[in-house]
Chains A and B, each alone.
Chain A
Amino acid sequence: MEQSVDIKAINERIKEESSFVDLLTMEMNKVIVGQKHLVEGLLIGLLSDGHILLEGVPGLAKTLAINTLATIVDAKFSRIQFTPDLLPADLLGTMIYSQKKEEFIVKQGPIFTNFVLADEINRAPAKVQSALLEAMQERQVTIGETTYPLEEPFLVMATQNPIEQEGTYPLPEAQVDRFMLKLVLDYPKKDEEQMIIRHNLAKTFPKASTILKPEDIIRARQVVKDVYMDEKIEKYIVDITFATRYPEQYGLEKFKDMISYGASPRASISLSMASKAFAFIKRRGYVIPEDVRAICHDVLRHRIGLSYEAEANNVTSEEIISEILNQVEVP
């Protein structure tokens, strides 16, 4: 009975705490037309303390989305264009000699902010990618002999262009795994595009209002952690992750030779966290299988390694995830 009361209390608390979700979505929708999935993904990343890798052609409002989010949350925002000649110091900061003070002083880089947009991350060499991904993981940066913690909330949204692959440095699997979600953006619908034209041709471009403070997000993250996840859901998540590693055990023998490596335990953690955040957005105090399924593609698509056989047969990780969801029994 006590446990039942707890759930009720969590439910009530979440209903209270998640009231900002509707407001935030409304403000985002003022500026961003369509791209509901992007907005939802940003919120999940923000609430579950995860970073986002975005794949989409240029001009799909990626920068605008994160800029708007920063405005709504009253947070600092930096946009870093990754280029082949970028150096880790350009990102993290460095020590410069001050003639006035006659000593070396620290010049912090653009990473010292709340929201970072790493544009075209695969255009910079591995050392820069590594510097960013290390900061993402450790939440701190060391310059000289001093370690500086990064500001909270800290959200990195990195973009990748799916077309031009020449002269790029593809992210290694170990580093891609550090992104909680990989969102694939598509073009807007016809009516949405019409609306985009109107927004841009209007005398004043719509502007989002600030409705939250970074502290609100940090508090909401704590509430998200309290969202109840039953043992059955945990098992369901584990089953899905295991199905990516040993598909033959789940009646998917056809994928055995197509998957070179399956999702890591970090994927299970991300799937659980993102499910909780999704339940929170839906203003629920407990996770249901629908939540897991809703974010499963975004969490797993960059964590499944495809073999040459899969590529030869044009089998994508999307198809594998869909088949897994259709095969694993829902609790």
Chain B
Amino acid sequence: MKIDTYITWLRNAMLVIGLMMCSFSSFGQDVTVSAQMDSTVIFIGGQIDLKLQLSQPQDLELSFPLLTDTITRNIEIVRFNELDTLSRDNGRFLIEQNFRITSFDSGLHYIPPIVFEEASQKLGAILQTEPMALMVVNPFEEVDPQKGIVDIKKPQETPFHLSELYKYLPWVLGLLALAGIVTFVALKYFGKDVPVKIFKKEEPIIPPHEKALEALGKIKEEKLWQHNRVKEYYSGVTDTLRHYIEERFEIRAMEQTTDEIMDSFKGVDVSGVKSIDNLKQILMTADLVKFAKHEPLPDENDLSMINAYFFVNQTKEEEIKSLEEEKAEMLKKEENEAVTE
């Protein structure tokens, strides 16, 4: 009897234990955790996402592990998101949390299983993720201290791109608009008084010899030396010649003395030595008149004027006539010949 009773008690006990065992295993299958990484290989300092997931029935309240700074000694957390709870159709919740992680140590790093400790205590079973591994690659050359210290490399320049100018575009457009408004206002209110001459007729260039001959003619007409204004007469003649020399030969004659002017002519190809002698006679006589109160004879005054004319005519630059002018001249010549015939 005692044995039967014992066997019955043992059977019942085993049944209870068996039932309890069954209930626990089924509970363990209902709650699952996982961890997933975007990639298992990163460059040193590179960043990837680590996703922690917890799948549970809706009536349970389980908490996530508190990870803030690091996952392991070598793997750091850059930032992490709030818990995200997704409701499933089968009456379950899928709770997720994303961690942006990085590592500054090269090599293969082992990530041990992440334990959901509070949940494990609540459920009475260990709830943890699978272990993982992260390979951190160093793309740079290893620093060899044996090679010695080298200079810091300069920052690399990126190639210029037009898009860099986009930021100035509003300013440029603004300035153009402002310039347009100012021009509009100026033309509207003051424009009438300012005639715009875009196609202005060019003034004809008078050759230096023509200017000089005209000026000499004027001096001659004024009869300066005849009125005892010898100094003025010679100043006028020499100034005219100096201006002519300046324009014709590009010699700074206005700022040069007689000797310097004569020296400057040494390097210039002038037709005829006589014209240079004429110039020398005028300048030297003028110097005597201007600075030594010399009073030349009337013949000398006339000679100076004749020499001035001679110098200008002998050294003048020949005009280059246009084709039209030459044609007109030839036609005129032919007409004249026809008339005489």
List residues of A whose CB falls within 8 A of some B CB.
1, 3-4, 6-7, 11, 228, 230, 232-233, 285-290, 293, 325-331
Contacts and interface: CB of A to CB of B under 8 A. Distances in A.
Contacts of A233: 291
Contacts of A325: 255
B255 A329 contact: yes
Contact of A4 (B254, B287, B294): B294
Contact of A327 (B255, B290, B293): B255
B257 A290 contact: yes
B106 interface: no
B173 interface: no
- Dominant secondary structure at the A interface: helix
28 contacts: A1-B295, A3-B293, A4-B294, A6-B293, A7-B292, A7-B293, A7-B294, A11-B292, A228-B291, A230-B290, A230-B291, A230-B292, A232-B290, A232-B291, A233-B291, A286-B291, A286-B293, A287-B291, A288-B257, A288-B258, A288-B287, A290-B259, A290-B260, A327-B255, A329-B255, A330-B254, A330-B257, A331-B290
B256 interface: yes
Contacts of A230: 290-293
A326 B254 CA distance: 9
B146 to A, nearest CB: 49
Interface string B286-329: 01001111110000000000000000000000000000000000
Contacts of B255: 325-330
B252 interface: yes
The 8 closest A-B pairs by CB, nearest first: A286-B292, A289-B257, A230-B291, A290-B257, A4-B295, A3-B293, A7-B293, A288-B291
Contacts of B256: 330
A198 B290 CA distance: 48
B291 to A, nearest CB: 5
Nearest to A285: B292
Interface string B272-295: 000000000000000100111111
Nearest to B261: A330
A227 to B, nearest CB: 10
A143 B259 CA distance: 51
A106 to B, nearest CB: 49
B294 A290 contact: no
A285 B287 CA distance: 13
Contacts of B290: 230, 232, 331
A232 B260 CA distance: 18
B253 to A, nearest CB: 9
Contacts of B260: 290
A331 B253 CA distance: 11
A20 B17 CA distance: 150
A328 B256 CA distance: 9
